[in-house]
Structure 1
Amino acid sequence: MHDVMIVGAGPVGLFLACELGLAGCSVLVLEREPEPGSPWRAEPLGMRGLSVASVEAFYRRGLLPPLLAASGVHDGSGPNPGADERWTPRRGGHFAGMVLDPDKVDVAALPVRLAGPAAEGLLTNLAAVEALLSEHAAKLGLEIRRGAAVTAVAQDGGGVVARAGGHEYAARWLVGCDGGRSAVRKLAGFEFVGTEPQFTGYAMHVTIADPEKLGPGFNLTPNGVYVQMPTRGHIGMMDFDGGAFDRSRQPTRDHLQTVLRRVSGTDVTLSDVRIASSFTDRAMQTTTYRRGRVLLAGDAAHIHSPLGGQGLNTGIGDAVNLGWKLAATVHGHAPEGLLDTYTRERHPVGARVLDWSRAQVAVMRPDPHSQAIQAVVRELIGTRDGATYVFGQVSGSSIRHDLGCEHPLAGRSAPDVRLEDGTRLGDLMQDGRGVALDFSADRRLRRPAAAWRSRIRYAVGPATNDLGAGAVLVRPDGVVAWADERLPDRERFERAAGLWFGRPAS
């Protein structure tokens, strides 16, 4: 029997598998598709934007350099890894197709972030991400079985049994990472609630006879929205038909051309369709991310429109949050209720993403009321405060969990501080342990070497920028669990460490 069975070998399932493998868990991954390759995962249709929060997750596990290489980023144009000044964003993102000016983002009004290797988002593709994570999973000795579609799930107090491809597989825990049409979600009886769609969206790679008739980038029109990507022939469009064109029907060239002409208000001609698919903005979320020994992550737990590129990033956030908590539970040293904090912390994040998606759809609707709101929103995001607010949402910078500590760093992603010897926080997190940083002059947090040895790495010494803190405790997912002022209190630290990491090892 494996410790954990994961259904779905997409980026979320693979990232979670690697987190568990890094923590010494035995993991089996079941994937429905027989082969990893798919034109929907490669460029151009597989292109995805990773937020700063997602890039940080790869960086903290030592996977950022190969991710950059796999994504074709070789120009060294990222932030200076030796700098400790506040970073300034080079890209602003967008809201409902209205692009933000990064120069208008007030960095001082955002949570503290330091310049460093993972200070910017990244454009990549699903094929590159999955290939990297599959290779990493293999190095960790994890098992991936392809061509295994799950058709039944049963659980009891001791474990979970899944049936796939005529075989039964058993594990102590099961996590469904099998996408928006999740079999695990349905078979395990999760409640899935939300709102019905407003539009049918289309993604396509086509040959356009007269591409000059279409504008570049996002185009909000009186009849809908279309997007002409930088890659030639890569088009997205949204037709506000109430989601009438079902995904079960393959869109033909004539249908796509008719919709594109109506939405764009042009007589553009599609001479060839290489690949195309449809989607909607249906926004749904499970009421809990756990039922007994079955958990959900990524699109299996929440679906919404791809506006703003939040789906993949939210899923990676789920995996990073769940991985160390589930591993601690498997190994028997999790504090009481630790696994329940997964739903408590990530469900509100998912709900916020769904509302963010709904808000964009409401603004983009081709009716006089929505277009009036659109004009107001465009003016607002053109201001310093508006641009800063939207950037905080799309970058993940605004996420903060209430962890019962009032320090401004607590509950947020830990800034990548650099110790005087050049070591960065990200360097200290590659083995998946939590990190205790003691910047105080008298090393107040130093403990006997055996205390929490397998769960917390101790780093002692001054930092080039300690952000006004004397000590910081960082969870394995990069969230600051506790921080204290210049003269940290050891008793408070031990209380916080016990809350998140359980009793110290003997």
Structure 2
Amino acid sequence: MKTTNDVIISGAGPVGLFLACELALAGCSVLVLEKAEHPLSPLKQLPFGIRGLSSPTIDAFYRRGLLDELEVPKRLKDPHAGAVKGTRRQVGHFAGIPFHEGDVDTSRWQNRLPGSPDTHVIAEMAELEMVLARRAEALGVVIKRGMPVSDFIADADKVVVHTGGQSFTSQWLVGCDGARSIVRKNGGFEFAGTEPAFTGYSTRMDIADPEKLRPGRNITERGMYLQSQPGYVMIQDFDKGAFHQSEKPLTREHVQEVLRRISGTDVTIETLQVATTWTDRSRQATAYRKGRVLLAGDAAHIHSPLGGQGLNLGLGDAMNLGWKLAATIHNKAPEGLLDTYHTERYPIGAQVLDWSRAQVAIMSPDPHARALQAIIRDLINTPDGATYMAARVWGIFTHYDTEAAHPLVGYSVPNFTLENGTDVGALMQDGRGLLLDFDRQAVLENFTKAYDNQIRYVAGDVKERMGVSAVLVRPDGIVAWAADNAADSAELRQAAARWFAGNTPGGNVFQPAV
């Protein structure tokens, strides 16, 4: 049966929009259905909407020409501008415990070449959505707002999606519709995990006596409060998520009682301008795909926002899924390619959930947690500890286990720069895979002709080759194969066959099991 769309995406947040961009870049027709009638919200704008982008996200945006379109990172280069300068300048934190610039030894990150994008930047949710929506629409994506997915029926050939009184048909449906995902619930996906330890509050308030609250992050015997700037207060109340789950009205009186109890002051809130609650409930879908229905972002995994890794985790889902789903739609995918979306992304999500749980355990207001805090603080105040924490928080060591021997395989491709000044980021903006041939080897010259324009061949030496002679890069920027010396053509064909579908006689005869 002919369908109206290749893909319907439920949710026009950053994850849904970035996925739409990736699919449209690969020539797919995409319809995005969004519950909210308008994209703007005070909670998406600064300071509530502040988000830290980690290295995998920054690399992905750079390789698609999106990074330069973001203005907020250019204005907010230093989120800790008011803090101590020099080597003791705070550049991040784990469970509220800061690590400092002078302790982070970036020379240990051998894959970060000169000219690579920043490892971490500050962004705003509202701007991210605006830039991604603009790019998606320029690529032909249709975005319909005020049209939440209410239900769907999926069979072996199509998915019929219902929203209000209308229905839309597509080959595939992807749920990017957040923590309370209708796609996940109606699709029968199991959502396993742990219950919350606290209720979190994000607020903007007018305070009668602001001098009673200390600036910055304050861990007390009863919880934590963070005043990022006067009147903008985040609170953690370790009530096992009771208030958030009660759905009681969020009043000035309630927030004042919680803030007084946590801060140990008699501070008075004159007006509660904006307030919302959240928890550290941590859950993950046990499968990211059921037939023609897939999940990404918060629909696939939820956890505490501590450390700001949720957005980056979801955008990583989109980058990983986009090219694989597009190749499947265009019949250019090796058998099992789409299944690698779950096998690669699920372990990354599980790591982030455990990272979040660890932070919550350390921030708990009890003697055991305070003892752990002291030990972790001592470790973070060492070069080894700070370098490790920074690498984890910024996603430097994000890696897919492909069982390949070469140390570059499974990691984000280094930003190699050709002698003419062109770098990997510029070479990947069309969304294709990339074969870099530094030695102009004859055995590689005609290789990509078998892959129907899926792989771009680029020959020429680079300024820093890191000891390799050739590198095959997937469309999402992950190294699929690398050779230190003369390329092994059979090994290269096996690597390419794992991720691409060639049109040569015999098909993917070298393809290993996925």
Q: TM-score range by the shorter chain?
A: over 0.9
Q: Distance in 2 between matches of 1:109 and 1:448?
A: 35
Contact 2:53 2:121 in 1 (8 A): yes
Structure 1 partner of 2:273: 274
CA distance in 2, matches of 1:493, 1:72: 39
Cα pair distance change 1:160/1:266, threshold 3 Å? same
Q: Does 1:345 align with 2:359?
A: no
Equivalent residue for 2:63? 60
Matches within 5 A, 1:156-175: 156-175=155-174
| 1:30 alignment partner in structure 2 | 33
What's 2:122 paired with?
123
Q: 1:216: how far off?
A: 2.4
Provide the rounded CA distance (Å) in 2 between the counterparts of 1:184 and 1:221.
Answer: 40
Please tell me whether the aligned partners of residues 182 and 300 of structure 1 are also in contact (alpha carbons under 8 angstroms): yes
TM-score, length of structure 1 as denominator length: 0.94
Select 2:12's aligned residue among 9, 14, 17.
9
**Greater CA deviation, 396-405 or 416-425?**
396-405
SS at match of 2:21: helix
Correspondence for 2:82: none
Asked whether the 8 Å contact 1:195–1:283 carries over to 2, the reply is: yes
Measured at CA, do residues 161 and 62 of structure 1 come closer, stay the same or move farther in structure 2, by a change above 3 Å? same
CA distance 1:441–1:32, change in 2 (3 Å): closer
Superposition pairs for residues 105-116 of structure 1, below 5 Å? Answer: 105-116=104-115
Q: CA deviation at 1:72?
A: 5.8
2:260 corresponding residue in structure 1: 261
Equivalent residue number for residue 43 of structure 1: 46
Q: Could you say what secondary structure the match of 2:445 adopts?
A: coil
Note the alpha carbon deviations across 1:188-237, whole angstroms, 9 max, x for none: 0000010001000000111222333222222111111111114x322111
Aligned to 2:439: 440
Q: Is contact 2:73-2:121 (8 Å) kept?
A: no
**Structure 1 residues 89, 288: CA separation in 2 closer, same or farther (over 3 Å shift)?**
farther
Provide the rounded CA distance (Å) in 1 between the counterparts of 2:147 and 2:76.
40
Residue matched to 1:100 = 99
- Structure 1 runs (4+) greater than 6 angstroms displaced: 88-91
Does the 8 Å CA contact 1:110/1:388 hold for their aligned counterparts?
Answer: no
* Structure 1: distance between partners of 2:452 and 2:150: 42
* Amino acid in the other structure paired with 2:8: M
Evaluate the alpha carbon distance shift between residue 158 and residue 89 of structure 1 in structure 2; reply closer, same or farther with a 3 A threshold: farther
So what's the TM-score if we normalise by structure 2?
0.92
Residues 1:28 and 1:361: Cα distance change in structure 2 (over 3 Å) = same
| C-alpha distance after superposition, 1:35-73 (max 9, x if no partner) | 111111112211111112111111110111111x2x161
Distance 1:165 1:501 in 2: 39
Query: In the alignment, does 2:198 pair up with 1:195?
Result: no
Contact 2:199-2:242 at 8 Å conserved across structures = yes
Q: Which runs of 5+ in 2 are unaligned?
A: 79-86, 506-514
2:240 maps to what in 1? 242
Root mean square deviation, CA, Å: 1.9
The code of the aligned residue for 2:385 comes to G
SS at match of 2:398: coil
CA–CA separation in structure 1 for the residues paired with 2:31 and 2:431: 19
Q: Quick one: which amino acid aligns to residue 104 of structure 2?
A: V
Tell me if structure 2 keeps the 8 A contact 1:454–1:505: no
How do 1:129-148 and structure 2 match up within 5 A? 129-148=128-147
For residues 361-412 of structure 1, give each alpha carbon's deviation from its aligned partner in whole angstroms, at most 9, with x where no partner exists.
0000001111111111111111122112211211111211111321111101
Closer/same/farther in 2, CA of residues 282 and 420 from structure 1, 3 Å limit: same
Is the contact made by 2:200 and 2:236 (CA closer than 8 Å) also made in structure 1? yes
| 1:48–1:164 CA distance, 2 compared to 1 (3 A) | same
- For 1:50, give the aligned amino acid: L
Q: Distance in 1 between matches of 2:456 and 2:268?
A: 60
State how far apart, in whole Å, the 2-side matches of 1:391 and 1:66 are: 26
